[in-house]
Amino acid sequence: MSDFIVARLRRRYRDGEPIHSVTAYDYFTALLASETQMDFVLVGDSLANVVQGHSTTVPVTLDEMIYHTKIVCRHFPAGRVVIDMPFGSCKADAASTVQNCVRAFQESGCGAVKFEGATDSNIEATRILTEMGVPVLAHLGLLPQRVNSDGGYRMQGKTDKAARELLRQARAMQEAGAFAVILECVVPAAAEMITRELKIPTIGIGCGNVTSGQIIVMHDILGMLPGKAPSFAKQYAQLFSTALAAVQQYRDEVSSRSFPEVGSESDSTEQPAGSTAYLRS
């Protein structure tokens, strides 16, 4: 299978196979995506939430996105890594959007860029970037970077008019050259209609089982953080509670002096120390 995202997704779409994708932000999450042979990974600006602990995606910067994307590109095929353009790096005008995307693409070494919305300048930037050879993944529906002005996280495309507007935006991004469209929290009927009308794949999150593929935030399916994950994110593991119990046990065993066990220390100097034991070449 191709290690370039556009060719791989085109093939999957042509063959009618579901496209699978997750977010990744670091060595651990990239390794999970790589071992499970995801079609692509997104270094999402959701890292503001799940890695940095902010309440919205607004604070994460372009420099921080590039830093994390470089890490992911070392552990997952770089041609299938997508960098999410953070708040403020797109939309003001097409020229600055193109400049920011080219910088992100070139410095991180990833295979595509993604940005939220289909404003006139985003459509124009998509046209220019596609001509330059920078693949663009569109993102429509719920746009988390607009949460402060839109007043919350709500399902999109509920009325006929809203669904038709989403289709108009998706078509405009497709005509400009976007190779696929992420649909976030679009009601299933509208997501299905858009998927049927487009000639490029739709990748859904919170849209039901009607799109050409699915993407999900890694931390949500692994239960890596305390508190509730979004209702559409099935939790396949409860890593936070497992890790908490382990760290609690370590703490208790240090308190009771039962760790380290007497006589457990090695005299070999060849043993790798600490976390370097887990590094693969």
What is the contact surface with ligand KIV in residues (CB under 6 A)? 23, 42, 44-46, 84, 139, 182, 184, 205, 215, 217
Nearer to ligand KIV, 82 or 125 (CB): 82
In 10 A of CB 51, how many CB atoms? Answer: 16
Nearer to ligand KIV, 230 or 260 (CB): 230
d(CA 37, CA 17): 14
Name the minimum Å distance from CB 17 to ligand KIV.
20
Nearer to ligand KIV, 198 or 217 (CB): 217
Name the minimum Å distance from CB 182 to ligand KIV.
5
d(CA 112, CA 40): 10
Nearer to ligand KIV, 29 or 46 (CB): 46
Name the minimum Å distance from CB 50 to ligand KIV.
8
Residue 251 burial class via C-beta count within 10 angstroms: exposed 0-12, middle 13-18, buried 19 and up = exposed
- C-alpha atoms less than 13 angstroms from C-alpha of 108 in its C-beta half-sphere: 37
Nearer to ligand KIV, 148 or 258 (CB): 148
Pinpoint the alpha helices (H) of the chain: 5-14, 27-35, 47-50, 62-75, 94-108, 120-132, 147-150, 160-176, 188-197, 218-222, 239-255
In 10 A of CB 122, how many CB atoms? Answer: 25
Residue 184 bears catalytic tag: yes
| Residue in 165, 184, 253, 265 annotated catalytic | 184
Name the minimum Å distance from CB 44 to ligand KIV.
2
Give backbone dihedrals phi and psi of 83, rounded to 5 degrees, phi first.
Answer: -95, 135
Residues 6+ apart with CB under 8 A from 62: 85, 86, 89, 100, 103, 104
Looking at the annotation, which residues are catalytic? 184
